[in-house]
Structure 1
Amino acid sequence: MTSCFVQSESLRDPTRPGVGSVSLSTNQQGTAEKLKLNSVLISGGNATAIFNNKIYTIGDSVQGVKIVRINNQGVWLSDGRQFALYPAVTETKGQ
């Protein structure tokens, strides 16, 4: 009777990052993510805005700028920017 011993290696997952790789988010790299208004929620006396899938209320800061007003039409920031949930559509018929 002859016996044989075979040792095998496990296969590496090809979707895993290589050894020593580091994953950086956009903010860690120093570049600001584009600010996008996803939704506005108004219930009773509370108004909430969702920017880049994060929840904010009046007085909170988003990317270092304070939110000063939230209503059905949009959100206003202290630096003068206004974000509309549904941007105005201009008519181009006949042009």
Structure 2
Amino acid sequence: MWRINLSLSLLLLVCCSHSAWAEMLRDPTRPLVSSGAMSGAHATANRGLKLHSIVTSASRRYALINNQLYQVGSKIADTQIQRITDNSVILADGRKLVVFQGVTSQLGTQK
């Protein structure tokens, strides 16, 4: 009789611990809130502004942000673009938008 009680107790313990462990797993289909490289405040500050690419002409640089083309001095989201580099945009309020490195690299060149 005590073996049956022991077996049932162990079965109950295994079932309960399994469900608690399953609750701790992250849903792989759920979008990330912020990346590990960004702090929570920085991610919140840049929410809504996505730098897609940098376009360089002979005399100017343009930034494609939220599918709109901007240049230095343009106003965007209650601030102004101060500087456009090869892979980033510096805003007047101190924020920095960075484009994914694979997008800025050209085939056959190394930076």
TM-score, scaled to structure 2? 0.46
Instruction: Identify which of 58, 65, 69 aligns with 1:51.
Output: 65
Q: Determine whether 1:86 maps to 2:96.
A: no
Alignment-mate amino acid for residue 93 of structure 2:
D
Instruction: Identify which of 70, 76, 88 aligns with 2:84.
Output: 70
Regions of 4+ moved over 4 Å? none
Q: Which stretches in structure 2 are left out of the alignment for 5+ residues?
A: 1-46, 102-111
- The sequence identity of aligned pairs, in percent, is 33
Q: Distance in 2 between matches of 1:66 and 1:44?
A: 23
Query: What is the CA RMSD across the aligned residues, in angstroms?
Result: 1.4
Alignment-mate amino acid for residue 85 of structure 1:
V
Residue 43 of structure 1, CA deviation: 1.2
Q: Distance in 1 between matches of 2:61 and 2:81?
A: 11
TM-score, scaled to structure 1? 0.54
Alignment-mate amino acid for residue 51 of structure 1:
I
Larger % of helix: which? 2
Q: Which stretches in structure 1 are left out of the alignment for 5+ residues?
A: 1-32, 88-95
Larger % of strand: which? 1
Write out per-residue CA displacement over residues 32-76 of structure 1, whole angstroms, 9 at most, x where no aligned residue. Answer: x71111111011121100111011100001112100000112100
Alignment-mate amino acid for residue 52 of structure 2:
N
